Amino acid sequence: MSGVPRDGLVAVVKRGCPTCELVEPVLAALPITVYTQDDPSFPEGVSDVRDDTELDVSLALDIQTVPTLLRFEGGAEAARTVGWLREEWESITGTTGLGPGLPDHRPGCGSRTGDPELADKILLRTQGDRLHARRIELSELEDEHESLFDRGWSDGLPVIPPTPARVLRMLAGTSRAPDETVAIVPPNLVEATVEKVAINAVLAGCRPEYLPVVLAAVEAVCTDEFNAHGLLATTWGAGPAIVVNGPIARAIGMNSGGNALGQGNRANLTIGRALQLVIRNVGGGRPGEVDRAALGNPGKVGFCFAEDEDGSPWEPLAVSRGVPAGASAVTVFAAEGVRGVADQISRRPESLARSLAVALRSVAHPKLPLGFDATLVVAPEHARVFAEAGWSRARLEEALGRELLLDPAEIVRGAGGIDEGVPAERLAAAGNVPIPKFRPGGLLIVHAGGGAGMFSTVIGGWVGGPGGSQPVTREVAP
């Protein structure tokens, strides 16, 4: 280690520590090199005192407490103690009778390397070389928050300035390397590294522990199956939504209960927002440009929630889609605004399934089959009806499928005095048989919500299947 003796005694102290001042006469009596963190004139009486106010040596030696006494042999640390304990100091120095008149023991003080006001400076000095993104310098007269609006990095709401220190703290949330490529982000097909995703997670207001979920969501959205470019470019109002499953949802404090689809939970809101900011700031998907939505929906700011697995009568959504039980995962799907379904009377699963099917039929338009996907969020009181009857997720899907076979006479163009609908020739070519509302796999069922209220929620989607957007599930990596 540069500057540190290869052999002999070394101490690290600071004048602001009472214990360091206590052992000042002990240090003066030893053949020792002393590094001082705050005052180059301290301690007095020591022949070899070195200035460490920049904390280079303290950081290199990983000093957490002062005083710290070390012995080096052949360039390697052979012994260490912190604070003042006469017995240990005598053992390390090989000297007896140290500090006569001093108490046998005094605890040390915190090293300046742990001072909160120095945290950012130290972080940049020790890890700053991990960052590769272009730096933007602001003038002294610029308001940093307004400057982010001016540069187009915001979704319309205030964002957190992504300073290098904040980005480094965000990167601590994952074991993945900052320069690792996560995905190629449409519509501009720009490479998104872990660092770029972390920058947008900072902008969104995420905590570091949310980053693995954001990374998994970015990976899922940027697949050909999800077709984020198509979802952006459509004039329909849908955008990506995220359902989180597994232990990580609880670990980071996500909401799967009351108001799960609404405001109030930092993890839910900022994870969804971070995904949208990656699409905007990395991929170039901005409203009025590639994003051609005629109306959009509030969920395009960010839409993310956790599934209530503990109270669910079914296996987790991710497990039903092939993820091993106990693993953490995200499922992304195209989502427009939510619409509530109220049925406070049904206590039979057959009746409730019919109620939910009637609501699901309205997705996009009641007379349009096999077009748009949807997600059904079943709240606990409705789920209890199915649980008490022993209905599995598969049985509910089967029942909904039967109820969502649309009568050709009701969906043909002109039926009901509505010009919208399926052309008569198409129905005839299909044999004038009932047509499913949703394609196979086009309806997801999720359990979430508060424990009071006989309600569920329909989340309409977008065109499903190979020509549109398909739900994608990805495991969350550390």
Neighbouring CB atoms inside 10 A of 402's CB total 12
Distance between alpha carbon 37 and the CA centroid of its chain, in Å?
38
Token pair listed for 412: 């043909």
pLDDT given for residue 244 in this prediction: 98
**Maximum distance among all Cα pairs of the chain, rounded to whole angstroms:** 105
Instruction: Report the alpha-carbon distance of residue 398 to residue 388 in Å, rounded.
Output: 18
Q: Each residue of 147-182: b (16+ CB within 10 Å) or e? A: ebeeeebbbeeebbebebbbbbbbbebbebebeeeb
pLDDT given for residue 139 in this prediction: 87
Q: Which residues contact 156 (CB under 8 A, 6 or more apart)?
A: 301
Instruction: Report the alpha-carbon distance of residue 277 to residue 275 in Å, rounded.
Output: 5
pLDDT given for residue 141 in this prediction: 87
pLDDT given for residue 3 in this prediction: 74
pLDDT given for residue 467 in this prediction: 87
Instruction: Report the alpha-carbon distance of residue 186 to residue 147 in Å, rounded.
Output: 25
Query: Tokens 């979920």 map to which residue?
Result: 213
Cα distances (Å, whole numbers) of residue 290 to 283, 349, 417:
10, 44, 36
Terminal Cα-to-Cα distance of the chain (whole angstroms) = 33
Q: Pinpoint the residues of the chain covered by CATH 3.40.30.10.
A: 8-114
pLDDT given for residue 1 in this prediction: 57
Instruction: Report the alpha-carbon distance of residue 49 to residue 63 in Å, rounded.
Output: 17
Q: State pLDDT tens for residues 49-88.
A: 999 999 999 999 999 999 999 999 999 999 999 999 999 9
Answer whether 348's CB lies under 8 Å from 385's CB: yes
Low-confidence ranges of the chain (pLDDT < 70): 1-2
CATH fold group of domain 8-114: Glutaredoxin (3.40.30)
Q: Which among 369, 366, 358 is positioned nearest to 427, based on CA atoms? A: 369
Instruction: Report the alpha-carbon distance of residue 187 to residue 381 in Å, rounded.
Output: 41
Q: Which among 193, 192, 195, 191 is positioned nearest to 172, based on CA atoms? A: 195
Q: Which residues contact 143 (CB under 8 A, 6 or more apart)?
A: none
Q: What is the 3-state secondary structure (H, E, C) of 363-428?
A: CCCCCCCCCEEEEEEECHHHHHHHHHCCCCHHHHHHHHHHHCEECHHHHECCHHHCCCCECHHHHH
Edge-to-edge strand list for the sheet holding 48-51: 48-51, 32-36, 8-13, 68-73, 76-82
Answer whether 107's CB lies under 8 Å from 116's CB: no
